Amino acid sequence: MIDVKGLVKRYGNKTVLDGIDLSVAEGECLALLGHNGAGKTTFMKIVLGLVRADSGWVDILGGAAGRREARTGIGYLPENIAFHPMLTGRETLETCCRLKGRAAGEAGGLLERVELGEAADRPVSTYSKGMRQRLGLAQALIGEPRLLVLDEPTSGLDPMLRRRFFSIVEEFKGRGVAILLSSHQLTELEARTDRAAILRQGRLVAEGALSDLRRQAALPIRVRLRSESIDSIHDQLGGRRINGQSLELTCAHEDRIGFLRRLTELPVDIDDLEWGMPGLDDLYAHFDEQGGQRP
């Protein structure tokens, strides 16, 4: 769906994207991570055909970015989505449907789907940020898209709406739709993305499935134990005492099985155990820092 090789984009003397290789397959979700200005939005704009790359190979839905077939097959939700305030939600979505070559009648179903059915005939100027974001998602879903490009899609949504938003995205993913999304909400992406790509100052510093990234980063796993015999465990395994009954330990990723074995062989009772794998935010911080140290 997206196949990009050696992508370079410069604005004047500034290199915004520097030799990016990335791909997103059918039914796959790739999270694009990076600080503001890392090149995420420029990458998305190139995928959408809004900006031309200076060099590199870009294949979107089997051809050049920005051609009519590619634009018909892509649903895009920009960061800070805006619509004309004078038009109602229904009028806005009907216009979007017609511009995508679809029947205006599709708008009603989409509005219901994003739970805007009751507000459909109110002007967009009366909508909250969350409602505008849902209207934005509805327009991105017009016409059975094959690729969804979502730039910070959940900013401004409350936790319930975020959950609903991702359930719709999951449904499309299940139908084979490829998804490229960027977000600063790393924790919520963790369970919902297949792969992550971390950009830093226009360079790709890490890319892969979360399990691969964990392996590459080799960040320690945090283990928190609670026991009546915490002093004895502390003497044998070390670690950091949290309070009278708890202890925090770390173990290397590759040693996790051996560590578990050592725990079970302890001659004391363990009341509780919390196993903290490095999260996406830990991985992001690690690779971002590593990328910054490279020449």
For residue 99, the minimal CB distance to another protein (Å) is 5
Binds another protein by CB under 8 A, chosen from 3, 18, 27, 100: 100
Compare residues 95 and 216 and give the one whose CB is closer to another protein.
95
Could you tell me how far CA 72 lies from the centroid of its own chain? 23
Establish how many alpha carbons lie within 13 A of residue 129's alpha carbon, considering only the half-sphere containing its beta carbon.
Answer: 9
What's the Rg (C-alpha) of the chain?
Answer: 23
Interface stretch with another protein, choices 55-63, 78-86, 171-179, 208-216 (CB under 8 A): 78-86
Binds another protein by CB under 8 A, chosen from 9, 40, 45, 90: 45
Binds another protein by CB under 8 A, chosen from 84, 215, 241, 262: 84
**Pattern 235-254, another protein, x by CB under 8 A:** --------------------
Compare residues 101 and 238 and give the one whose CB is closer to another protein.
101
For residue 243, the minimal CB distance to another protein (Å) is 50
Compare residues 95 and 250 and give the one whose CB is closer to another protein.
95
Reading across the β-sheet that carries 240-241, which strands appear in turn? Answer: 240-241, 246-251, 221-226, 272-276
**Pattern 105-144, another protein, x by CB under 8 A:** ----------------------------------x-----
The count of other CB atoms within 10 Å of the CB of residue 95 is 16
The answer to whether the CB of 246 falls within 8 A of the CB of 226 is: yes
**DSSP code of 207?**
E
Asked whether position 80 contacts another protein by CB under 8 A, the answer is yes
Distance, CA of 141 to CA of 114 (rounded, Å): 10
Asked whether position 87 contacts another protein by CB under 8 A, the answer is yes
Which amino acid, 184? H
Query: Within the chain, where are the H helices?
Result: 40-48, 68-73, 89-99, 106-113, 129-140, 159-174, 186-190, 210-217, 230-237, 256-264, 280-293
Compare residues 50 and 270 and give the one whose CB is closer to another protein.
50
Interface stretch with another protein, choices 97-105, 112-120, 172-180, 186-194 (CB under 8 A): 97-105
For residue 58, the minimal CB distance to another protein (Å) is 15
Could you tell me how far CA 260 lies from the centroid of its own chain? 32
Asked whether position 68 contacts another protein by CB under 8 A, the answer is yes
